[in-house]
A and B are shown apart, each in its own frame.
Chain A
């Protein structure tokens, strides 16, 4: 029947349209960007973790958002500008110091496909950074 043919055509079109994003990306790598340069450098990873006062890069990955929020509250609400880590180290609270290489932030955020940090719309970006 003529009607059945139309329905079948419609169905095929629908399936094609619906799966278009998957079909287009078949055979391509999942991530479009290069892995962050940070991940190739053990010392840089540990340096970054130390600056935030966490054990290693895994804890950095997990907790950096919370620690940054704690830093903000500590400075703005309590007037305390030195962060004391769990193991008793004292770190000056400074976004410029933590993100002395802001390209790390962007590369990593890019790599996992989330929004770039918007810190630098207010905080002055450290010199030599590519934070935009």
Chain B
């Protein structure tokens, strides 16, 4: 009589798995293009921004205009279809958990520049079903528009409203198209990218360079000598909605 095959379920599954892996050529698992960063590329362990809102002149929108011009952000006619990378909010809207009924006069009037916080623990990245939005090793939360399917889970997940959806073709609503940067297509979500395209060639973000009062600082959070760390050491700073646990990397001097 033939002996029954004496093999446990666990061994069988392991063996099947190993056999399946053997079939797939190793090359298909770890394909990455051979690439090199630009020789001048700025690198950091963790990019962060400090905005000194005290230095923001009333009514100034220079950072917003410069950013939106550089990144081909459209002016949509319908406010419900608004697209924005950096914009302004009142103190109460920016820091809803740091308010009480008797605010100081200066803060009440001030407008705070608001942008994607490039969180250390980004909820948008967690919900994205296609990994179109992801966190780079240097902390920048990036978008891969080629992969975005427009499900807008990230918009629901982001507690800062930092993401906009392209309901319509944005091209006709861009006053002058910057030839050096792509526009977007209907059906994708977009947001601030911490000027990844500029860091990659050795330039600081557009808003940092455009600010007439040098109110925006940008640097490596892991480097104690960086401008952001020095500003954090010398000032009382706030982050937006910290209790949600996203650990934002945009800090405000208020």
Given A79-B136, A79-B200, residue A90 in contact with residue B36 (CB < 8 A): yes
Write out the residue numbers on chain B whose beta carbons fall within 8 Å of the beta carbon of A81: 35, 37-38, 41, 200-201
CB distance from A64 to the nearest CB of B (A): 13
List the A residue with the shortest CB-CB distance to B177: A124
Say how far B231's CB is from chain A's closest CB, in angstroms.
25
- Which residue in chain B gives the minimum CB-CB distance to A94? B180
Of the stretches B17-25, B57-65, B141-149, B203-211, the one at the interface is B141-149
Q: Which of B90-98, B152-160, B181-189, B236-244 contacts A (4 or more CB under 8 A)?
A: B181-189
- Does A104 interact with chain B (Cβ within 8 Å)? no
- A residues 60-91 with Cβ under 8 Å of B? 67, 70-86, 90
Instruction: Give the complex CA separation of A83 and B178 in angstroms.
Output: 24
Interface residue A123 (Cβ < 8 Å from any Cβ of B): yes
A31 within 8 A of B: no
Bound-state CA distance A123–B182 (Å) is 4
Distance, CA A74 to CA B34, complexed state (A): 8
Interface centre among B35, B36, B169, B180, by most chain A C-beta atoms within 10 angstroms, is B35
Task: Tell me which residues across on chain A come within 8 A of B35, comparing CB atoms.
Answer: 74, 78, 80-84, 93
Q: Is the CB of B183 within 8 A of A124?
A: yes
C-beta contact mask, B168-205 vs A, less than 8 Å → 1, else 0? 01000000011111111100000000001001110000
Q: A72-B146, A122-B145, A124-B177 are in contact. Are A80 and B36 (CB under 8 A)?
A: yes
Chain A nearest Cβ from B137, distance in angstroms: 9
The B interface is mostly helix, strand or loop, or mixed, namely: loop
Contact of A76 among B41, B138, B144, B199 (CB under 8 A): B144
**A29 at interface by CB-CB < 8 Å:** no
Cα of A62 to Cα of B221 in the assembled complex, Å? 45
Expressed in whole angstroms, the Cα–Cα distance for A76 and B41 within the complex equals 14
Assembly CA distance A83 to B33 (angstroms): 8
Residues 26-79 (chain B) with a chain A CB within 8 angstroms? 31-38, 41
State how many residues of chain A have any CB contact under 8 Å with chain B. Answer: 26
User: What is the bound-complex CA distance between A123 and B41, given in angstroms?
Assistant: 22
A77 touches B196 (CB 8 A): no
Chain B's closest residue to A72 (CB) is: B146
A123 CA to B33 CA in the complex, in Å?
21
Query: In the bound complex, how far is the Cα of B193 from the Cα of A110, in angstroms?
Result: 36
Contacts of A72 in B (CB 8 A): 144, 146
Judge if A121 is at the interface, Cβ distance under 8 Å: yes
By the criterion CB–CB under 8 Å, are B183 and A84 in contact?
A: no
Which of B32, B145, B180, B201 is the one whose CB lies under 8 Å from A73?
Answer: B32
Interface-centre pick from B134, B178, B182, B200 (highest chain A CB count, 10 A)? B182
Decide: A82 and B38 in contact? CB cutoff 8 A.
yes
Q: Encode contact with B along A113-132: 1 for CB under 8 Å, 0 otherwise.
A: 00000000111100100000
A86 to B107, alpha carbons, bound, how many Å? Answer: 58
Contact check, A122 vs B182: say whether CB atoms are below 8 A apart. yes
Residues on A with C-beta less than 8 A from B181 are 124
- Supplied contacts A79-B138, A122-B145, 20 more A-B pairs, CB within 8 Å: A70-B31, A72-B146, A73-B32, A73-B33, A74-B33, A75-B200, A76-B146, A78-B35, A79-B37, A80-B35, A80-B36, A80-B37, A81-B35, A81-B37, A81-B41, A82-B38, A83-B33, A93-B35, A124-B179, A124-B181
The 10 closest A-B CB pairs, nearest first, are A80-B35, A70-B33, A74-B35, A82-B36, A84-B34, A122-B182, A74-B33, A123-B182, A121-B185, A76-B144
7 examples of A-B residue contacts, CB within 8 angstroms = A72-B146, A75-B200, A77-B134, A77-B144, A79-B200, A82-B38, A122-B183
